[in-house]
Copies of this chain bind each other. A is one copy, B any other.
Amino acid sequence: MALDDILAAFKDGAIEADEASRRIRASFYQNVGQPSGGHSTLDSDRLARTGASEVIYGAGKSAAEIADLVEALVGTGQNALVTRTTPEAYEQVLERTAIARYHEAASAITATVQEPAGADTLIAVITAGTSDAPVAEEAAVTAAFYGNPVLRIRDVGVSGLHRLLARLDEIRQARVVIVVAGMEGALPSVVGGLVEAPVISVPTSVGYGAAFGGVTALLGMLSSCAAGLAVVNIDNGFGAGYLAHKINRL
């Protein structure tokens, strides 16, 4: 229930002052969980403010906490996305809401109450290697969750350039391009020099030794000779998908 509706209902006498006050407060934040004040403070106003409802970062939360949060979101008519989660959490979520779906490759749960307004334009998600797939899937699931069509291009790293060049026409159809790469993270530099769309780079923790769990790819993307790459955190597929959505809806 939006703020205007609450105020109208109050003016019309449909609800009393304390009920109006309770609803207004709830439209801004909501304590979730028991006991005493709850374990989380859900940001109910985020959709209105930023155009996207709050997303649940699953890591470090118990299955019960995740289920509480999904239930709270769905219960107020919002779509729910949980990232970095597990089949165990999914089971508990399913007991609360039957519409939940598990995305194994992305380790994500979605629960879609109402279909998002679909975008016409494409978001491309490109990986440098096979092992970058989980991060790429998190990006792709996130972009799709917000209603964006997604094109996946896999395993086209720079050590075999023709694999990338062969698919350049496809990639150029996209309005936003996400490039996911580990090791030295060179693929975004190459793609950034070849396309007109904004490029979002996602370093992954793929690699060993001097790859330092994604740090090398991260630093490489930040230092890229290709102008204007957007960089997100290591393995942050969600952040890339969310940013791509924010750009694609413009």
Total identical chains: 8
Please list 29 pairs of residues, one from A and one from B, whose beta carbons are closer than 8 Å in the complex, sorted by A's number: A29-B163, A39-B155, A41-B155, A41-B163, A43-B159, A49-B193, A49-B195, A49-B196, A57-B131, A158-B190, A161-B161, A175-B250, A184-B184, A184-B219, A184-B223, A198-B247, A198-B250, A208-B234, A208-B235, A209-B222, A209-B234, A210-B233, A210-B234, A216-B219, A228-B232, A228-B239, A228-B245, A230-B230, A231-B231
Please tell me if the beta carbons of B50 and A193 are within 8 angstroms of each other in the complex: yes
The CA of A232 and the CA of B198, in the complex, are separated in Å by 13
The CA of A162 and the CA of B133, in the complex, are separated in Å by 29
- The reply on A15 being an interface residue by CB < 8 A is no
CB distance from A137 to the nearest CB of B (A): 11
- Which parts of A151-166 form the interface with B (CB within 8 Å)? 152, 154-163, 166
Chain B residues near A152 (CB-CB < 8 A): 37
- The reply on A55 being an interface residue by CB < 8 A is yes
Interface residues on A, range: 35 or more
- The reply on A113 being an interface residue by CB < 8 A is no
Q: Which residues of A contact B (CB under 8 A)?
A: 25, 28-29, 37-41, 43, 45-46, 49-52, 54-55, 57, 59-61, 65, 128-131, 133, 152, 154-163, 166, 175, 183-186, 189-190, 192-198, 200, 203, 205-212, 214-236, 238-240, 242-243, 245-247, 250
